[in-house]
Structure 1
């Protein structure tokens, strides 16, 4: 008995460990090029369904597929309307995974684990290492499923266990609730299906009970999605709610049909499943596939109204709107010179976001304002860095073009460091907010730094020599920017306690570092074009 439970636990652990390894490596593979390719070929709903199906077929992971979809939404490459058909494809094709549970793939899976394990390097960062790591994760996932399937069969033969479950016979609603609960707790409908399949093959459940457990399993996964998405907002929330509604709509449609078939002896789903195959395992797989296929067929014509309704109920957040590229697009890296012009324009926007961070730190702004603009900066900056990487790896360039691209990359590194420094300033400002001296010093630093950031913005926008000279004077080693910070610190520090003085000094050091970074960005300004 102990060995049965240990095997079941080991199978579950291998399943989730494989899922984690798979997801981690797929994140490395889902770069801008892949996302741009998907965005380009999801213009029609049918192509969106096919791409969603392709992702889930390759990854065997709804979580990994959802990560790719959400990352494309956040980078502005794809709209929610394009993502909806992909969700349909994920559900429909993802249901086919259950067919593997009724086929003996243990030998093939062990071969894949052996080969991938020999090639796998946990610290590998290249594309090949990520592919091998993802393959290793898939193999572990299916090995865990096979182990669970094999361990449940002996458990089902235990007299006490059979007696425990025998009272569920004929209680179809209870079977639905069991499926919901198992899927909610285990957090994987495929893992639950492995258990249900073993029970049905052992004769504990009949076809009708098993079908209702299958329905409950899918509904339970939607309830879990609903719970996990409670704190999501904007487009991520729209996608999560569509996924939730997808399975709940299937349950709302198929559960009443189930009872109509039983009570009135009308041949519907059970008759269709039995007509498809007489194999017990195949019937469970067919029920799972049909549950995911039928809602997709019903919802496909309604994707447009559904998208508009979801956007009305959970509108795009300010962060999502602000983090979308204004100039970069899916073809931005096709032509190096044009792509670099567009990168420079987005970097000018990021400089304005630095100013927005200081605006969010002023006393009259709500505490969450800084976090929102900082998050938008980070998302847009990641898109800019990916485009620079694409430009560097996808084209042969002249020496002049490489120099300009290097200047853009250097400028981006400085921008990222500047944003991190502003975050440090925000932390120290919050700690100093309890004292009047700290508030006064932080306010003066914020106003002075914001004026320098706005001057850098003028330089990037106007390319005026006088503005550049003024920025250089404000940010030099003995410029008035650094002098003003030091003077303000010396004026206040004598009146503070030692710990408060250290906070004040830390804020002053952050300010001086930011002034130096802004001056460096002004001196190394890449050539830009007017928006």
Structure 2
């Protein structure tokens, strides 16, 4: 018994590790092509369904597809409505592993393992074009080897004794509960189904018991998505409820069919066995698993509007969603570089105007935004930065002219500075928030930084060259003054060692934030020739270069 248990557990370990390895390296190997595939998947429900099936077959985790799409929705790549068919198709794709487990593939595993081993021996993993794909093949090999261990594990069990125990104590409700618990533990519906196939191969489990265990595993894996979704909320969490809906509809349809056959005087177990054809009971369970996914996926994909309303009802948009949703850029605009760069510029300017929201207003007792709300603004700002960055990359890849390319590269460089400024302001607010009573130095630093950031936001909103010159002057080098503050803090014991460390850290973050504000101001300042044109002085406009 101990050997059998060890073999099954080893198989599960290999399966989990193989799927994880295959999924992570497949993502690295495909890179932006996966992103482009998911974007194109939103063009129609059918294309989304097919793309979801491909993603589910590749990752062998419908939960992973739902969570990835949830993060992409939160990042503004596409909407919940667009992503619903992708999530639905992801469930169907996971059936591939169950079908593979129903057949003898040991010879394929041996040849595949030899192929991977020779690939590493001849150092093919050192070639960039081969490296990730070789690891994908290794992950697939380990997953298949794990499946073989799981299938072969129960062969030495006492069939008569275990069958008697199962026949005596496994009711439909208990089987359903076992399936739910196993799926919640494995974060997958396909893994418990594969275990069921192994038990059926050893003749330890009947078809009726297997039916209810697979049903429970199907619903349990959907509910497990809420646990693995972690901190996702708002629009990012909506697709988790879509995933649950796919699972629940599949279970409801198949359970209703089982009950209907029984009420009609038929034998539902015999009907299920007939669905397996010549493949027997194992093929019947594979067909059952596929039918569960298809029943829910097709229904949800065809009723996207209703599905979206249900998802929004359970997970309404959060403040972070509002803060992270771009207003100007959209993926189709990237096809026209000139217009696209104007839109990305407007989005960047809007982001800079929101920077003061990242800092507490201590002069008003911090009554402007709570810590939670400032964190939402920070996450939203980070999402906007990423969205604009991806947008600029798409513009460049669309074949921009030399002039447009120069503008895009300058915007990217400035965006990187803004990204650093966003993180620095967030860190500074976090340090100030750690004080039970804010010391005078921290108060002064925070209010000074807020004034500087507000000045940047105001200058961005239609400011002239003089406004930027004033801001550049305000953010001039203050290293000597800040060094004096640090030396005073090091020599002082007032407030305790912890407060002194926080003040030292706040001072460093203040210095970095001021420096970053200065870099943004210098990048945004209109060229001097434009300032002179605004002054309306033709003589000054025509002054030769280098003349004051």
| TM-score (normalised: structure 2) | 0.83
Q: Which residue in the other structure is 2:293 paired with? A: 292
For 1:230-309, what aligned pairs fall within 5 Å after superposition?
Answer: 232-262=232-262, 264-266=264-266, 270-271=270-271, 273-278=273-278, 279-309=280-310
Matches within 5 A, 1:22-41: 22-28=22-28, 34-41=34-41
Where structure 1 has 5 or more consecutive residues not aligned to the other structure, the ranges are: none
Distance 1:106 1:161 in 2: 27
Of 352, 370, 395 in structure 1, the residue corresponding to residue 374 of structure 2 is: 370
> Residues 452 and 224 (structure 1 numbering): CA distance in 2 closer, same or farther, change over 3 Å?
same
Structure 2 residues without counterparts, runs of 5 or longer:
528-548
Name which of 121, 137, 141 aligns with 2:143: 141
The CA deviation at 1:490 is 6.8
Decide whether the 8 Å contact of 1:52 with 1:85 is kept in 2. yes
Report the CA distance shift for 1:387/1:188 in structure 2 as closer, same or farther (over 3 A): same
Q: Does 1:502 align with 2:493?
A: no
Shift of 1:360: 7.3
* Per-residue deviation, 1:254: 2.8
Q: Secondary structure, in 3 states, of the residue corresponding to 2:331?
A: coil
CA RMSD of aligned residues (A): 3.5
* Aligned CA distance change for structure 1 residues 48 and 222 (closer, same or farther; 3 Å): same
Partner of 1:318: 319
Query: How do 1:426-437 and structure 2 match up within 5 A?
Result: 426-431=429-434, 433-436=435-438
2:476 paired residue number: 476
Separation of aligned partners in 1, 2:457 and 2:133: 42
Q: Is the 8 A contact 1:381 1:416 kept in 2?
A: yes
Closer/same/farther in 2, CA of residues 470 and 163 from structure 1, 3 Å limit: same
User: In structure 2, what is the Cα distance between the partners aligned to 1:122 and 1:519?
Assistant: 48
TM, length-normalised to structure 1 = 0.86
Between the two proteins, the alignment pairs up a number of residues equal to: 520
Distance change in 2, residues 1:273/1:345 (3 Å):
farther
Deviates more, 1:301-310 or 1:111-120: 111-120
Could you tell which deviates more after superposition, 441-450 or 259-268?
259-268
Q: Could you tell me how far apart the structure 1 residues matched to 2:228 and 2:41 are?
A: 30
Query: CA, structure 1 residues 206+514, in 2 after alignment: closer, same or farther (shift >3 Å)?
Result: same
Q: Is the 8 A contact 1:30 1:68 kept in 2?
A: no
Distance in 1 (alpha carbons) for counterparts of 2:67 and 2:161 = 43
Measured in 1, the distance between the counterparts of 2:154 and 2:361 equals: 57
Distance in 1 separating the partners of 2:401 and 2:144:
45
Asked if 1 retains the 8 angstrom alpha-carbon contact of 2:361 and 2:447, the reply is: no
What pairs with 1:62-461 in structure 2 (closer than 5 Å)? 62-116=62-116, 129-155=131-157, 157=158, 161-168=162-169, 171-229=171-229, 232-262=232-262, 264-266=264-266, 270-271=270-271, 273-278=273-278, 279-359=280-360, 363-364=366-367, 365-392=369-396, 395=399, 398=402, 400-431=403-434, 433-436=435-438, 438=439, 440-461=440-461
Per-residue deviation, 1:158: 5.7
Q: Distance in 1 between matches of 2:526 and 2:33?
A: 25
Is 1:14 aligned to 2:8, yes or no?
A: no
SS in 2 for 1:42: helix
TM-superposed deviation, 1:512: 1.4
Of 225-234 and 276-285, more deviation after overlay is shown by 225-234
Distance 2:373 2:334 in 1: 33
- Contact 1:179–1:220, Cα closer than 8 Å, also in 2: yes
How far apart, in 1, do the equivalents of 2:276 and 2:21 lie?
36
Does the CA-based 8 Å contact 1:261-1:267 persist in structure 2? Answer: yes
Q: 1:404 to 1:236 in 2, by over 3 A?
A: closer
